[in-house]
Each structure stands twice: as C-alpha cells, then as structure tokens.
Structure 1
C-alpha cells in the first residue's frame, strides 16, 4: 500500500466528498490493483476519464473509437471507465490512499496541487515532457494549473476551458431584451424580465460543489477576496468572500431569477433546463455539445463573456472566469509506466486534440491544435479570449480540493435555505463560511 502525507489523509477524512473513503477502499480497482487491473501487462492499461459530455454514454461513444485507434497503433488495450464528477475526487483520493488505482486518469485541473501533495501521481519533469514532445507544446496558462509553483507538474493539460454566459435568443427577443448583460446589475434587471410564466432567467446547480466554487471564486476576485492568504492558509470569512457568496445565492434568495428547485440540481441539470427552454441563461464552461445532444440548434443560443461588476472583463477585479480544464495524470505506482506514457502522448497529440476538443467544445491546450478552423466558432472565440485575458487559476495550494468541498457545501446549504424561503444574510453567510473554515486541515 502506498503511503501519503498525514496532511492529505486528514484532508480526505474531513471531506464531505470522501465520507465513504473507508467503505470504498476495498472496491477500488484499476491498473495497479489485484482485482482485475492490468497487473503490469504491457498490453493493458486502465483509464479513468472524467464526464465531459452530456452523459457517461456519450463520453464512451466519443472515447472508445479513439482508444481502439490507440490499440491498433500500439497493441495496448485501454480499459475505460468514465467517472461522474460527483464521484471522481472521492475515487481518486481512495486510490491514492490504498495504492490501488488506474494507470492513467483525468483530474480537474483545480485539484492538481492537492493530488500532487499526496505523492500518488507521477511528477512531470523535463525528461517526462520530452517523451510526449516537450513542455513548450502546451499553452502556458494551461500549464499554470498543473500543480504547485516551484515543483514539477503533477499532470499535463488535456482539455482547456473557461466560463461564458450562454443565452437563449428567442427568450431574450420575446422579453424585449436586445443584448446579453455585461454587468451583474444588468443581469439582475434582465433576469427579472425573463423570470415569468413558469420560466426562469438563470440556471444554477446548488448541489454541484465544484460549480459552486467556480462561481464564488470569480465573484470573490471581483470583490477582492482570495480565499487563501499569502502563506496558503484559508481565509474564507473576509468581507469580500462573504459578499461574493451572498451575491451568488441572492440570485435565488433576493433577486428571484433562479428557480428554487435549482438548489438541488447536480451536474448538467442546469444545461438540460437551458436546452429545453426552461431557463434563459446559464454560466458554464464549454456547453455546445450538451445543447446539441439535447436537440437545441446552434442558432438558438448565443454566447457572451461572464458579467463583471462594471466596465469590461480584464485582470484584477474584472476577472470573469477561473482557469478551467482537465488534466491527465499517471499514477506513480503504475506497473505499465511505458504504456501510460504512450497513452498520454497519444491523447495530447495534435490529431487527438483536434478530434476530442472539437467534440467536447473545449480549447486545445496544445498550441498546434488551435489552428484548426473548428476552434474559430464564436463560442470558442469567447472562451479562448476569456482564458487568455480575464481568467485566473484557483489557488494552487495542497488543500484546494478540501476548499472546494467545504465551501462548495456551504454554498449548497445556503441555496437550500433560500429555496425553503429562509433568510440569507451576511451573518448567516459568514457563519456557514466560518464552519467551512473550521473543517480545513489545521497545520
């Protein structure tokens, strides 16, 4: 069994996402396990992919032809499992603790520093990068979310994304709204015009902890909050953090532009409502493939930058997205390191980047792949410009995944209060954030 740091174990044990850690440990399989993994075979790899498409079956349909292509090229068979986002961090931490994980896996790029601290992932030094064509093939902003500064990255970028505001053109026209909102005041005013006749202005996913964090992190930057101090210690109850969380929850509690039922929504449910014309706007990363899969025509929706407090998006207080994306990592104790390296090289090749990123509507973190005309669509232009000019990475600190869990849960609890008609005040927000901070590992 692999050993990981006591700090990482404390973080896992305290996390609401991984409360089932001990119960799950015996059921975790993969490339280094004794229950049907590759057992070191040079002809087999296990791969945990993240759910990038509208559902798991859609991901399998996208990935399996590419994995067969890899098998034909190399003779190595890849055993695929697509893991839902609601389970992914739990599964990874269980694998890191038990030493029984896949050979290769996808991780949310915001978890890179946390998973790096466990010591379970293979570090990507210059020699490792050399085996996949070199570090300079990748966009620098994407490399910025691959682990703590001053250390070799824990993963390599696979899909890059940023947030945008998607809006329903017909619903806007029917409400007499000429253009998408550029500021939050405009979004609320527009939202009140759109929230009528059983339809709502803005979609949210109150039970999606990662999405909660993404939204309040951006609002936090706009209010001057960082959530961690210069020494990497949690700072969740600053005035800016409280204002950010309250502003987000107030879209439901005070402004009444988010349906109360959204408090219980999980991954992709807000996108489904948007595609079916039940909500007029949604703040999301790459979403085109989901809309298409649910029967929404490309001409029915538009895309614009996420609003800011005033002015135009840019650095500083006009940050309007986190640096979003998916990284690809290799478990350090894989028994098929050579095959794993070949697979990472394949998935980050120019050709596969064009195929996969165009399917998922994401931005290739591999520079050469971005020249494909598929990435000149209006949606991707907004996402690419946001990523380059007005996005910031979530804190690259060891306790980042715990931050997502406890603060994401605090936001979830506040949405539940708002949905039930309860008051959401600065005091109640600060109390929830204080409770969250108490659950962080104590150094």
Structure 2
C-alpha cells in the first residue's frame, strides 16, 4: 500500500474501543450515510498515480462507462495517502462517509473492527461473481482471520528491488544483489562520488513498517504474538530493525539525508540517477512519470538472508495492495455492489491494473500478456511464493504509527552520527510497545 500518515488520537481511541462498540456503521434507515440519490454514488479513490490529476484522468472514463451501463453517476474524490486514513477514521466515527472507498489492505482489520464496513459474506461475494475469482493471498489481506472480509481486493502489489542498469554497468556489476551480504558489498562499491547505492524514506512511517516487517520475518520474528499482543522488542525484532537502520548507520550505503525523506522522494532520486537501487512496490509507472524509459531499470526480488526467496525466513515482501470497501450505512447498497462488481470485472481489472502497473487480484485478468513483463513477473512470483500479509489485527494502524515512528527516530540518530546500538533500538521498540498498551 502506498501512503504515509499519522492517525488522529481521538479516532485511534475509537479504533481501540471498536471491539466493544462500533464507532461508525449503522444501517441505511438510521439516517446515516451520504444521503446520495439512488442513482448516484460517492467514491473515495486512493492516489495511485503520479498525482491526483492523473488519477482523475485515468478513472474518469471508466466511471463514465459504469454510468452508461447502469444509469448510476459516481462522484469521484481522489484522496492523498497523507489524508486518507484520517478521513476514513473520521467517517467511521461520524457515520458520514462515502458509499464506496479504497483502503490500503494493511488497514483492513483495523477498519473492520469499527463495524463501519460492509462484511463480504457469501451473499455479497455472489453478487460480484464469487469469492473464488480472487487470488486467495489477496483475500487474506482483507480482514481478520475467521471473519468475513471487510473489503474486496482491487490492485495487488509486492515489493521488488529496482536497480539502475546504467549505474550497474558503469560500476562493472553484472547482476543485482540476491542476499543482504551482497547488498552491502555491492552497495559500498556504488556509494561514492556523491551517489548512493540504496534509497530509503526514513520519514515515511508506512514504508518503514513494510521494510522492517520483511526483515523481522527473515529473522524469525513477528510483531504480534499468537494472541494478538504486541511483541515489538523481542531480540529478533530488534535485530531486524537494527539491520535496516544500519544500512545507513553502519554500512553507509544510504544517504543520511534519506532519514527525512517522505513519500516518493526515494523514487525521484532513483529516477534522477542519485541512487542505484530502491526497494519499492510496483514502481514502473512512477519511474515513467519521472522521465525514465523502459529498459533504464531492472527488477529483481528483494534480497534474502541466503539462498532464494521463499516462504518462512526467506519472505521478501509484504502482501501489498488496495482493497475496495463499502460503508455499511450506505443509502444505496445495490448500487454499491454493482460498482464493486464493475471495478472487479475481468475487463476493468485489466484496464486499471495496466494503468497503475499493479497485478490484478482477479485470477482471470492475470492471463493478459500485459502482466507477463519482467517487472510484473517478479511481482507475481513474489506474491505467489514469498510474500506475507502484515498482521491482520485491530491495532495494525496504531502499530504502523508507533513502530514506524521508532524507525524514523533511529534513522534520525544515524543521520546525526549518534550511535545506533542494540540497546538503543530495543529502547525505541519498548517505548512503541508501551504506547500501544496505553
């Protein structure tokens, strides 16, 4: 999921209480919802393209097509990632939200706990063609285990290692690193003359979480135990976070200035030839928007400790993606279901995922040759063999804020030349865990 944000404190409290009482939701006859006419829907789309205008241009013709087919007009608002979660949480608290909305798949369980989203039971899945049309790993990132999903997969993504072919060729490097040891060795040879090996976004809380989640898996750690309780400062989790920050603090292959980078700044540096590699999810369309051309970059799996990517300790990506949800108190449930059916139809899945450089979570749509490129083949293989979903727990959004901030602060220490030690990493993670408890 592409975004960065901090949750509002008041609405975070709502999420924490949601297991007992829903902060939003309701039904169509309780006066809540958007009060749109039956022939009109409101849709909050997440910013998937290089800017909001690009999303408006991409989605406009498709929404017009839906209107022509059904007679239902869709009022579109593209919401920046920096605002999206807070907007959604405020809507769940007030009961005044859109009819249909995009959510980052890592938020699914948190938003599910509010009770504000329509559960996707067998009847609702049947209304859009059936649950078995979707890739199971994508469904697994749509809500807590053992419950009906809170949303339907729309775009699927995974992380990959993107590398600048020209910079590698000039440095005499034949292939991208497959292991972290190779990353450090190659990275040191590339980090010179004002250029750096690897880009990062230390100020981007979500990206921090995505990276340390994967490394934690590789160290055999989970940030939540089997009972769903935080386990942020276990020895293996501490080692994972330290390994990531050490790419700047100790290995010196990430520029100190990256400690303050926010959303997409690392992509700009990569496109401008300031860094040779970046770890990102479905980045091809972003590179093109920054002036790169097909062939300028290569793509490979994210490094693993040793060997090749796979399940377990060689997990090398989170299951990334965007889900489509319906507010339970919509005044137009039938129209909302028709809209979800349209957006997840085989044809629309091909159109939309081609536009955004993502992988369709609808199985039949993946057969299109457009999704067999080198880039997307790596992403598809990763999703199918070596990706794991972030914890599907109600506290997931608070976890991203607490641990993402801890990593941000550690990057700030590294950039300032302050030592990053096992003890200092553990102290930050313990503090984050205590924040969750309070």
The verdict on a shared fold, with TM-score over 0.5 as the criterion, is yes
Partner of 2:118: 122
Q: 1:75 aligns with which of 67, 71, 75?
A: 71
Partner of 1:281: 277
Partner of 2:100: 104
Compute the displacement of 1:21 (Å).
5.2
CA contact (8 A) 1:180 1:304 kept: yes
Which of 51-60 and 362-371 deviates more? 51-60
Q: Deviations over 1:373-414 (max 9, x none)?
A: 000101100000011011111111111111111111111111
In structure 1, stretches of 5+ residues that fail to align are: 1-14, 23-31
CA contact (8 A) 2:203 2:408 kept: yes
CA contact (8 A) 2:55 2:78 kept: yes
Given the alignment of the two structures, is residue 144 of structure 1 paired with residue 134 of structure 2, yes or no? no
State the number of aligned residues.
Answer: 420
RMSD: 2.0
In structure 2, stretches of 5+ residues that fail to align are: 13-27
Q: 1:38 to 1:238 in 2, by over 3 A?
A: closer
Q: Please, what TM-score do these two structures have when normalized by structure 2?
A: 0.93
Partner of 2:389: 393
CA contact (8 A) 1:16 1:406 kept: no
Q: 1:55 to 1:20 in 2, by over 3 A?
A: farther
Alpha-carbon distance between aligned partners in 1 of 2:177 and 2:54, rounded to the nearest angstrom: 32
Q: Please, what TM-score do these two structures have when normalized by structure 1?
A: 0.92
What does 1:15-414 correspond to in 2, within 5 Å?
Answer: 16-19=6-9, 38-414=34-410
Compute the displacement of 1:40 (Å).
3.3
Alpha-carbon distance between aligned partners in 1 of 2:276 and 2:346, rounded to the nearest angstrom: 36
Q: Determine helix, strand or coil for the equivalent of 2:295.
A: helix
Compute the displacement of 1:362 (Å).
0.6
Q: Deviations over 1:75-107 (max 9, x none)?
A: 222111112222211111111111111111111
Q: 1:236 to 1:38 in 2, by over 3 A?
A: closer
Compute the displacement of 1:19 (Å).
3.9
Alpha-carbon distance between aligned partners in 2 of 1:113 and 1:133, rounded to the nearest angstrom: 23
Q: Determine helix, strand or coil for the equivalent of 2:277.
A: strand
Alpha-carbon distance between aligned partners in 2 of 1:333 and 1:441, rounded to the nearest angstrom: 31
Compute the displacement of 1:20 (Å).
7.4
Q: Determine helix, strand or coil for the equivalent of 2:278.
A: strand
Alpha-carbon distance between aligned partners in 2 of 1:89 and 1:194, rounded to the nearest angstrom: 37
Alpha-carbon distance between aligned partners in 2 of 1:441 and 1:318, rounded to the nearest angstrom: 31
Alpha-carbon distance between aligned partners in 2 of 1:92 and 1:189, rounded to the nearest angstrom: 44
Alpha-carbon distance between aligned partners in 2 of 1:257 and 1:54, rounded to the nearest angstrom: 27
